[in-house]
Amino acid sequence: MSDSIDVQDKEEAIDSRGHLEKLATQLASLIIQEDGRPNTNAINELTRNIQYACINTKQFGYYIAKQLKDKHFTNLVEHPSIVNLCCKPSTQKDLESDWVAYWCQMLKIARVYHRKIWELCYIPQALYEHGMLMQGMKGIGFGCGEEPLPSLFASMGIDITVTDLDPALSTSGWLDTGQHTTSIDKVWRSELASKEEFDKHVTLKYVDMNSIPTDLSGKHDFCWSICAFEHLGTIKAGLDFVENSLRVLKPGGVSVHTTEYNYNDKETIDNWPTVLFQRKHFEELSARLVAQGHEVMPLDFDLGNDVLDLFVDVPPFGYRNTPQEPHIKLAVDGFPCTCFGVVVRKKA
């Protein structure tokens, strides 16, 4: 996984550089008129230096993250711990915690100030705390792409069903970016599980998350998804998925999911390839599930108040040869966002 993150960062840095150079060219045409005189249009006065403001802000943020990483990310953690993980957003404090350090070690991924690292650690931490990561358990992942968790769980002797949308039906472009499962072999991480362990414990099934097949019902001890249900078309469809995911579980099973969280309480994005959930949506979902007799872990909307919690990265993400870091909070179509995790135990 660390290799794929590094490659992705490099590719995005190259794309970002090209994007900024193109933007600079476009802005230059606004700054200087065809006859060489400066453009004094009021809009130009407001916008012509935005690119430099963005670059400066990003570079200072990345520099601070590098200093903090060198200071805080040196600890080795031998054993997992119980932290009573709740439904919450990703924060700087989490990424500096022992529980994140432990799962980064287990996943053999670099620990950086990135919300995707937080997601990869949030899922196993929540499952561990609820007694799900034991030999003989059965789990199912939704929209898995090529994430490393199936290999990690297989190494623990857990039977895993990896699911993703049938590639023939995918129009999102994820096939080109390694975010879609086109074959079971693409999910295997040799550094986490032997091929024998993986083949014994992991199977692939194509599933539409908007229509979970009934033949999966009641067969699993746990299920999970990482930043997947915001891509189901609408906010309602995403929330319905979390509720419907409980059907695949045995009584007392655990469902853990992460998604996009727009922490602006006013407007948001709906009816779009990527929708953005707000506090009210998680509160409504929790109330709905609790009314059905399920247990939803406490909701905590504290965004953190450390320096990188206050840094909102802006596109293009990454710059020059700088990887995507820090990237805990970011602007998505103009809205401040981060990841949010949801943990639900199905009624017994």
Residue with tokens 């083949």: 199
Which residue, 332, 330, 338, 325, is CA-closest to 113?
325
Residue 6 identity: D
Is 184 in a helix, a strand, or coil? helix
Maximum C-alpha span of the chain: 76
β-pair partners for 332: 335
Q: What's the rounded Cα separation, in Å, for the pair 79 and 77?
A: 6
Give the DSSP letter of residue 59.
H
Residue with tokens 């805080």: 72
Cα–Cα distance for residue pair 329/113, rounded to 1 Å: 10
pLDDT in tens, the chain (348 residues): 333 344 344 444 445 556 656 655 665 555 556 676 666 666 666 677 788 888 888 888 888 998 999 888 988 999 999 999 999 999 999 999 999 999 999 999 999 999 999 999 999 999 999 999 999 999 999 999 999 999 999 999 999 999 999 877 755 544 444 444 567 999 999 999 999 999 999 999 999 999 999 999 999 999 999 999 999 999 999 999 999 999 999 999 999 999 999 999 999 999 999 999 999 999 999 999 999 999 999 999 999 999 999 999 988 776 666 566 788 999 999 999 999 999 999 999
Residues 95, 78: contact at Cβ < 8 Å? no
Question: Sign of dihedral through CA atoms 109, 82, 249, 115?
Answer: negative
DSSP codes of every residue in 27-40: HHHHHB-TTSPBP-
Domains of the chain: 2-345 (3.40.50.150)
Q: In this structure, what token pair is assigned to residue 131?
A: 């007694």
How far is it, in rounded angstroms, from Cα 143 to Cα 249? Answer: 17
Contact 84, 337 (CB under 8 A): no
